[in-house]
Structure formats: structure tokens, C-alpha cells
Amino acid sequence: MVAGSAHALTPVDGVPVVVRAARVLRATGLVDRIVVLAEPALHAALELACAAEPVSVRAGGLHALLDVGAHTAQRASDTIGDAVSTAGVREIVLLHDARRPMAPGALVAAVVAAVRHGHEMAVPVLPLTDTVKRVDGSGVLTATPDRSALRVLQTPIALRADLLPAEIGADPLDVVRRHTAAGGTVHTVAGHPSAFALHSPWDLELAELVAQGTIAL
């Protein structure tokens, strides 16, 4: 599990999101170890938040996960800036955004199964239900893309350990973009509404309601 900003420490029903995300991964029984990557300024706070959890906190940056998998030539100049999560599952690595603390363990099982069945990488997706428009530089609507083939990406992501890049940036989904740009293939599995990211007070309030069992998504 990789965490980079104070967002990882945001509590949902009294539990920091990074801890919630770690507990979901561990509860699946598929994760051998969890690593939390932290910016130097947050290292102590994340260690304190995760003190009761069987996780290790280490400094983020280039080659921070060198011991997790054999790195390929993929490289990036990203800096850790937000909450991300990684955990090793035998020869498979999970990348999970800690800002998605309500993502169910079923997504972990689904993406891991996809990679175990031969796919290089797997990511949960949801159909795009909102209408999307193209807009020109002056703010005028120009076209309506066909949304039937568009998908919203979620985490956790599973990938072969040998495909793990040397550096994980702020957004684990960037690994998907880099992999496809390099000519790799990414398999998709059905996502889940609960795997939404916390970007706003509204998202946080929704997560609180889900955590308390007031609503189910």
C-alpha cells in the first residue's frame, strides 16, 4: 500500500482511510504483505496511524518498491503526492488508492484472478453513465462521444510483479496509462460503486454513510 498525502490520514467513521484500505486487502487472505509509501513529512504520522496494523511504512520515491518485483524498463518522473496502495500477492502486485477505502475485497479477488489466468494487468471498471461532450477552446460544445465503449477506472489494480515500474506516482491508475502507452494490454473486470475515490466533502459524507451501514451501494 502506498500513501503520499494527508488524504491518507482522513478518517472515515473514525478510521483513517489508509487503515481501512489496508484492512480490506488483508481481509481477502490474498495479500502476503502491505507496504505504505510516505512522503518524509508524513512518515511519522502514517507510522502512528498504522501502528496496530501488520504493514510497513517506508519512504516513497524512485526504487522504493525495488524488492517487490523485478522492474522492467518502464520509468516515470512522478513524485508521490497522494494516497496510493500496493501489496504483493505471490508473483502479483496490487496497487490500490487509499482514497478508495470502501472498495470491497471482491475487487481484489477479481483482479488477482485475472492476472493469475494469464493477463498482464487487470483493472476494475464501471460503465460511463453521464453524457460527455467535447468542448473547444472557447467553451463551445462540438461533439458527443459515443460512451458505450467508455469506462471509468477504479482500483485495486493487479499486475505481474515483473511489470511493476520503478516508481509509483500519486495516482496508481497512471501505471495503467503507462503500460498501455508502452504497448501492453490491460484486462478489465467489473467494478463496484463502493470503490469511489474521496475527492470532496460529498464523497467523504457518502463514505461515512457506507461505513456506518446507513446505505449500501
Report domain extents, the chain. 6-121+154-211
User: Would you state the pLDDT for residue 184?
Assistant: 95
Mean pLDDT of 129-139: 85
Please state the separation of Cα 136 from the chain's center in Å: 31
Residue type for position 13: D
Confidence of residue 69 (pLDDT cuts 50, 70, 90): low
DSSP 166-178: S---S-THHHHHH
Structural contact between residues 82 and 170, judged by C-beta atoms closer than 8 angstroms? yes
- pLDDT digits over 71-119, tens only? 433 333 232 333 344 444 458 999 988 889 999 999 999 999 999 999 9
- pLDDT digits over 147-196, tens only? 888 899 999 999 998 898 877 776 889 899 999 999 999 999 999 999 99
User: Would you state the pLDDT for residue 82?
Assistant: 39
Q: Please determine, for residue 123, whether its predicted confidence score (pLDDT) is greater than 90.
A: yes
Residues in the chain: 217
CATH number of 6-121+154-211: 3.90.550.10
Structural contact between residues 74 and 174, judged by C-beta atoms closer than 8 angstroms? no
Percentage of the chain beyond pLDDT 90 is: 53
Structural contact between residues 216 and 210, judged by C-beta atoms closer than 8 angstroms? yes
